[in-house]
Amino acid sequence: MTGQCFSEIALPLVDLGIKVIPVQPSDKRCLLPGWQKKATTDAEQIKRWNAENPNYNVGCVGTPDTVVVLDCDIHGLIRRIEQETGQKFSKTLIVRSAGKRCAHLYFRQTDVSRSLGNKKAAGLFDLQSMDKYVVGPGSRLDNGRSYDIVHDDPIADFPDWLEMWILANADADKPKPKTHGDHPVNDDFDIADMLEHYGLDYVQDGEWFITDVCPIAGRKHEQSTRTGFFFDGNNLGFH
């Protein structure tokens, strides 16, 4: 897949039912504002992104109605899970990352995987289920390596037996941090649009949108590295 343009690497993925987004060339970052709502399987939109920059990498987005990705952070995790559970993974699409050269396992969402949502264990895995993405096959990083398909099998359903292993090994969910008031918002509220409107660059961490500068002070606070907004889909808060 070396040397292919964005549409050439993205369209085969959408044929598998995977929603995609444009990712910066030779990078892992997506700078598309509100990408969570713009991830798509629409071929015409993909062609427009390709016209914008054919060198984009592709991001494969986990959504409740499409796929969930088990993003391994260590080598041999597949074998370890099988040994610890006494189960064996069904054949499915597996991609080797260009960074750590570890596996990304793609699964179709099920009621079990949807109930799990996003989970992670630092240094072990990330379960990218809801508005999370991995860089997709055919993409390349500035280290010269590419994301490569190692098992080109049809995407299997998320295995029910994997749920207990994920829950047993995942980091404890973070408690909701204190904010300066949580305020209900209208159903059509889009936090990405709000941040773009005020010219605020941000990094999303779960339900937190960490801004580069404090919107009130206009600069970064030395003693607060997580200034930003909390948004859980219904309520908006500020820290």
| pLDDT greater at residue 204 or residue 32 | 32
The percentage of residues in the chain with a pLDDT greater than 70, rounded to a whole number, is 89
Mean pLDDT, rounded, of the chain = 89
Q: Over the stretch 49-103, which tens digit does the pLDDT of each residue have?
A: 999 999 999 999 999 999 999 999 999 999 999 999 999 999 999 999 999 999 9
Phi, psi of 116 (to 5 degrees): -70, -45
The pLDDT, as a whole number, for residue 62 is: 97
Q: Over the stretch 165-205, which tens digit does the pLDDT of each residue have?
A: 999 999 975 444 445 556 677 777 788 888 888 888 877 77
The pLDDT, as a whole number, for residue 186 is: 73
Spatial distance between the Cα atoms of 37 and 194, rounded to a whole number of angstroms: 14
Q: Over the stretch 138-149, which tens digit does the pLDDT of each residue have?
A: 999 999 999 999
Phi, psi of 31 (to 5 degrees): -105, 10
**pTM exceeds 0.75:** no
Contact 88, 145 (CB under 8 A): no
pLDDT band (50, 70, 90) for residue 153: very high
Nearest 5°: the CA angle 62, 194, 14 is 25
The residue written with tokens 């949580």 in the block is: 182
Q: Write the CA distances from 76 to 81, 114, 160, 219, integer angstroms.
A: 9, 25, 21, 44
- Ranges of beta strands (E only) in the chain are 19-23, 57-62, 67-72, 94-96, 103-108, 119-121, 125-128, 132-135, 148-151, 156-157, 183-184, 202-205, 208-211, 228-231, 235-238
The pLDDT, as a whole number, for residue 70 is: 98
